[in-house]
Structure 1
């Protein structure tokens, strides 16, 4: 998955750079496809890759987690 993300990142940046550097009729489309690739393909895949093994309840502020944070603050002092 890491290599796919790297490849997609390089491909989208390459598309954007080619759109800016090349003087062709479809240079604006290259820029647009690069931006769409980042936001609709690369960013969701990256988010899934980073959060797939995480427990979401560890990051939510509920009564238990607030109590844990308060207990840790007491022991620091």
Structure 2
């Protein structure tokens, strides 16, 4: 998965760079498809890859988590 994300990111950035460097009839399409590839393919795959084994309850502001944060602050000083 990591290599797929890296390949897609390099391909999308390469497409954007090719659109700016080479002046052709399809320059704007290269830029557009590269940008669309980053936001439609690369970012969601990256977000899924990084968050797939995480528990979202650890990042929510619940009463228990707020109490834990307050306890950490009390012990800090």
Q: How far apart are the structure 1 equivalents of 2:73 and 2:16?
A: 47
Q: How far is 1:26 from its partner?
A: 0.6
> How many residues end up aligned between the 2 structures?
77
Gaps of 5+ in 1: none
TM-score (normalised: structure 2): 0.97
Q: How far apart are the structure 1 equivalents of 2:75 and 2:18?
A: 56
TM-score (normalised: structure 1): 0.97
| Residue equivalent to 1:59 | 59
| Residue equivalent to 2:71 | 71
Gaps of 5+ in 2: none
Alpha-carbon RMSD across the aligned residues, in angstroms, is 0.6
Q: How far apart are the structure 1 equivalents of 2:76 and 2:38?
A: 42
Matches for 1:33-44 after TM superposition, within 5 Å? 33-44=33-44
